[in-house]
Amino acid sequence: MSEFMEATSFILKGCTVSLELFAITAVLSMPLGILAALGKMSKNKILFGMLSFYTWIFRGSPLLIQVFFVYFGLPVLGISLNALTAASIAFVLNYGAYLAEIFRGGLLSVEAGQMEAARALGMSYWQAMRRIVIPQAARNAVPAVSNEGVILVKDTSLIAVIGVADILRNANELVSTEFVVYPFLIAGLVYLVLSTVVLAGFDRLEKKYSVYS
């Protein structure tokens, strides 16, 4: 029993790194996704083309390859980053691309008449977006963003491959040194608990929005 508790404690030490990566990605990819979504709805063809290329690249290639490129590839160009920073950059760009399409879908789901009515009342384009369109789009996007939040919890395990002592890396170290398999079960349970917490948070957010729908 003591060995099990020690293993759990060691694995939980990796939670700090995993949660840090989760927080960085969530905080930075959300505004990136919103800006990219608004940019893709712009009539500026150059901006639309650049953002379309960005979302195509990051949604169409594996996140693990993106992490490898930033961590192992950029040093070839003279840019060296520590493992967590490299992972954070790759994760933010990747999730920003996915969120851009989610938010764009949310914006498109708002009836065009909403914007027309707001403009008829004397609002500028950006006033109408901020007060009328974006709040409705955000409500519509909550379920999809919730799904991305759960995926992000699980994707943080990818940083184990570049040597970051996260939940999975610590569990794998115990399996390799102690020749037991239960650390993987503990790690899986930790990820399950974290995913459940994220889901609960989004469920509350969705219910709060539904009150005003």
Give me the long-range contacts of 176-184 (CB less than 8 A, separation at least 24). Answer: 178/7, 180/7, 182/4, 182/7, 183/7, 183/11
Best-predicted range by mean pLDDT among 54-63, 159-168, 178-187, 201-210? Answer: 54-63
Q: What is the pLDDT of residue 68?
A: 96
Residue 104 has pLDDT above 80, yes or no: yes
Closest CA to 197 of 160, 146, 162: 146
Residue 209: pLDDT band (50, 70, 90) is low
Cα(197)–Cα(6) distance, rounded to whole angstroms? Answer: 24
Average confidence (pLDDT) over 9-28: 95
For 121, other C-beta atoms within 10 Å of its C-beta total: 10
- The CATH number that applies at residue 158 is 1.10.3720.10
By residue range, what is the domain housing residue 12? 2-211
Alpha helix segments (H runs only) across 109-166: 112-120, 125-128, 134-155
Can you give the pLDDT at residue 213?
A: 52
Average pLDDT, the chain: 91
Reported as a single tens digit per residue, the pLDDT across 52-102 is 999 999 999 999 999 999 999 999 999 999 999 999 999 999 999 999 999
In the chain, the number of structural domains is 1
| Rama region for 122: left / alpha / beta (φ>0; ψ in -120 to 50; rest) | left
- What pLDDT is stored for residue 206 in this prediction? 79
